[in-house]
């Protein structure tokens, strides 16, 4: 397999960072295809901690080309914050390529994100506050700035005038300070100069890499249930983290995708608002939260905790064509006496196994569980499936059976070595 997509299969935070880091070492090119700095994970490199929010994790692997594709919303200040920290650590950043068609996220997007949330009051989305929604809104409204617009003074003037005409009206309607054109124009020109060496037509670059037979890893941020189209709308992000969005967001044909690796936690978490049928509360949820260090990387918010929901995995697998699962944080379940798996929902006396379009309906769904015996033995050092306690083996087998998708690998701790590969998509 040459082109592999890594996709979160729940509500994000499935531990994609570690898995992406693992496979990045085998890839020639790693691509972020959607989202912006609402994503994030911490990578320890040479004993130092780095927060990566925009850049693909491939940057920590020598020689790997890192692409920020056209489906992304990129904050230039956020980008240089990451790049400067890497440069200081002696990491070669000349391998980064930014799509000329990627959207530019500026400070007023963040202000509008906050204002929108305040206006929604009781119905707020619980966004990361990074301006992601307002930036994608500008793109869809055809008034947004793209990377290519920053490269030419005349074009920039025209595009910025167009966008600020709308944005300042919006800011004023919220009682916020309008953006001063000249200040923003100068700031954007400066960004353009600094960004120029990185900006290119990444669709052409990727097509050439595909022709050459390079190994390409597409790194999704967030998770399938946060997909703007197929997630729990409106409690979603404004892009699609699903494999089906890769071709469009990168400018490559759909047939170029060889394998989709769905990343799923052995249980479920969610940050922000929205329905979550298997959510747990009380002391047990708190215990799992502590054991799994379930706090947001970007916002530090405590994550909501729940049992594994097979309906969600099947929703994701059906739409994205998941070829194999990477089951993460299995070790967090060690010591849990009885483990529940949600295999359907009860809705008005009927059993349902699909995710409804409306929130109102989903909120009324009651989970139907099967219960499995847990295991007590520490699994954090196991190196093979066979070394797992029998009940942990049964848990994995059950997931495979209920989803009809094989487990490609599982993870039993935060370190790279605590990953057991059953089949490697790049080697198959
Ligand atoms: P936004 O992407 O900041 O607009 O936030 C929309 C929703 O997606 C909120 O519920 C966020 O908590 C959630 N979200 C965004 N990025 C992530 C992520 O990387 N992990 C988990 N949830 C996320």
pLDDT band of 51, cuts 50, 70, 90? confident
pTM: 0.96
**Has 13 been annotated as catalytic?**
yes
- What is residue 184's predicted lDDT score, i.e. its pLDDT? 98
Query: What digits encode the pLDDT tens for the residues 266-285?
Result: 999 999 889 999 999 999 99
* The pair of three-digit structure tokens given for residue 108, joined into one six-digit string: 């007023």
Query: What digits encode the pLDDT tens for the residues 281-315?
Result: 999 999 999 999 999 877 788 999 999 999 999 99
Domain boundaries, the chain: 3-99+199-233+240-256, 103-195, 264-421
- What is residue 79's predicted lDDT score, i.e. its pLDDT? 97
Q: Give all strands (DSSP E) within 203-275, no chain letters.
A: 216-219, 259-265, 268-270
Give the range among 18-22, 71-75, 175-179 with minimum mean pLDDT. 18-22
Say how many Å lie between the CA of residue 237 and the centre of ligand 1. 6
**What does the DSSP assignment read for 164-201?**
HHHHHHHHHHTTPPPPPHHHHHHHHHHHHHHHTTTEE-
**Has 109 been annotated as catalytic?**
no
37 Cβ inside 6 Å of ligand 1: no
Query: Which among 41, 61, 230, 315 is annotated as catalytic?
Result: 41
- What is residue 50's predicted lDDT score, i.e. its pLDDT? 80
pLDDT band of 41, cuts 50, 70, 90? confident
Share of the chain above pLDDT 90, in %: 90
Q: Which atom of ligand 1 is nearest to the CA of 301?
A: 12
- What is residue 368's predicted lDDT score, i.e. its pLDDT? 98
- What is residue 298's predicted lDDT score, i.e. its pLDDT? 74
Say how many Å lie between the CA of residue 232 and the centre of ligand 1. 12
Comparing C-alpha atoms, which of 345, 332, 335, 334 is closest to residue 305?
332
Give the range among 14-18, 103-107, 203-207, 246-250 with minimum mean pLDDT. 14-18
Say how many Å lie between the CA of residue 194 and the centre of ligand 1. 29
Residue 428 has pLDDT above 80, yes or no: no
pLDDT band of 108, cuts 50, 70, 90? very high
* Structural contact between residues 313 and 404, judged by C-beta atoms closer than 8 angstroms: no
**In the CATH scheme, what is the code of domain 264-421?**
3.90.170.10
| Nearest CA owner, ligand 1 atom 2 | 237
Query: What digits encode the pLDDT tens for the residues 318-331?
Result: 999 999 999 999 99
By CB atoms closer than 10 A (0-12, 13-18, 19+), residue 353 is middle
Residue 310 is inside which H or E element, if any?
helix 310-320
226 Cβ inside 6 Å of ligand 1: yes
| Nearest CA owner, ligand 1 atom 17 | 222
- What is residue 46's predicted lDDT score, i.e. its pLDDT? 72
Say how many Å lie between the CA of residue 269 and the centre of ligand 1. 12
Compute the mean pLDDT over every residue in the chain, rounded to the nearest whole number. 95
Say how many Å lie between the CA of residue 127 and the centre of ligand 1. 5
| Nearest CA owner, ligand 1 atom 8 | 237
| Nearest CA owner, ligand 1 atom 12 | 272
Residue 135 has pLDDT above 80, yes or no: yes
- What is residue 300's predicted lDDT score, i.e. its pLDDT? 84
Residue 128 has pLDDT above 80, yes or no: yes
pLDDT band of 415, cuts 50, 70, 90? confident
39 Cβ inside 6 Å of ligand 1: yes
pLDDT band of 232, cuts 50, 70, 90? very high
| Nearest CA owner, ligand 1 atom 15 | 38
Question: In sequence order, what are the residues at sequence separation of 6 or more whose Cβ sits closer than 8 angstroms to the Cβ of residue 8?
Answer: 14, 16, 220, 221, 222, 223, 224, 226, 241, 262, 263
Backbone angles phi, psi at 265, to 5 degrees: -75, 155
The more confident residue out of 161 and 44 is: 161
Q: 103-195, what's its fold?
A: Adenylosuccinate Synthetase, subunit A; domain 2 (1.10.300)
Average of per-residue pLDDT across 112-118: 97
Residue 121 has pLDDT above 80, yes or no: yes
Share of the chain above pLDDT 70, in %: 100
CATH class of 3-99+199-233+240-256: alpha beta
């Amino acid at each position: 397999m040459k082109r592999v997509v890594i996709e979160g299969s729940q509500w994000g935070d499935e531990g994609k960072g570690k898995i992406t880091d693992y496979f990045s070492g085998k890839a020639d090119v790693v691509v972020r295809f959607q989202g912006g700095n609402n994503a994030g994970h911490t990578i320890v490199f040479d004993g130092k901690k780095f927060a990566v929010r925009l850049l693909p994790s491939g940057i920590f692997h020598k020689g790997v080309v890192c692409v920020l594709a056209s489906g992304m919303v990129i904050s230039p200040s956020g980008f240089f914050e990451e790049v400067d920290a890497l440069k200081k650590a002696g990491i070669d950043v000349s391998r980064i390529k930014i799509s000329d068609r990627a959207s530019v996220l500026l400070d007023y997007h963040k202000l509008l994100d906050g204002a929108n949330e305040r206006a929604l009051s009781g119905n707020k989305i619980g966004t990361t506050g990074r301006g992601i929604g307002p930036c994608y809104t500008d793109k869809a409204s055809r008034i947004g700035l793209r990377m290519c617009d920053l490269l030419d003074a005349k074009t920039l003037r025209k595009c910025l005038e167009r966008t600020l005409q709308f944005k300042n009206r919006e800011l004023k309607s919220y009682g916020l300070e309008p953006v001063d054109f000249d200040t923003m124009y100068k700031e954007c020109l400066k960004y353009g100069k600094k960004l120029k060496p990185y900006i290119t037509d990444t669709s052409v670059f990727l097509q050439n890499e595909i022709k050459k037979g390079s190994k390409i890893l597409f790194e999704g941020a967030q998770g399938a249930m946060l997909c703007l189209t197929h997630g729990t709308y409106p409690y979603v992000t404004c892009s699609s983290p699903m494999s089906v969005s890769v071709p469009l967001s990168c400018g490559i044909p759909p047939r170029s995708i060889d394998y989709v690796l769905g990343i799923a936690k052995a249980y479920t978490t969610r940050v922000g608002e929205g329905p979550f049928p298997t959510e747990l509360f009380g002391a047990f949820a708190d215990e799992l939260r502590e054991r799994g260090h379930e706090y947001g990387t970007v916002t530090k918010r405590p994550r909501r905790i729940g049992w594994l929901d097979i309906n969600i995995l099947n929703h994701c697998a059906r739409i994205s064509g998941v070829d194999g699962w990477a089951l993460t944080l299995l070790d967090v379940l060690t010591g849990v006496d009885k483990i529940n798996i949600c295999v359907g929902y009860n809705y008005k006396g009927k059993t349902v196994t699909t995710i409804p379009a409306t929130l109102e309906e989903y909120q009324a769904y009651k989970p139907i569980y099967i219960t499995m015996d847990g295991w007590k033995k520490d699994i954090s050092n196991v190196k093979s499936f066979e070394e797992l306690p029998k009940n942990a083996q049964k848990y994995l087998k059950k997931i495979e059976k209920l989803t009809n998708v094989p487990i490609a690998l599982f993870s039993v701790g935060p370190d790279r070595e605590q990953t057991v590969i059953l089949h490697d998509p790049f080697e198959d």
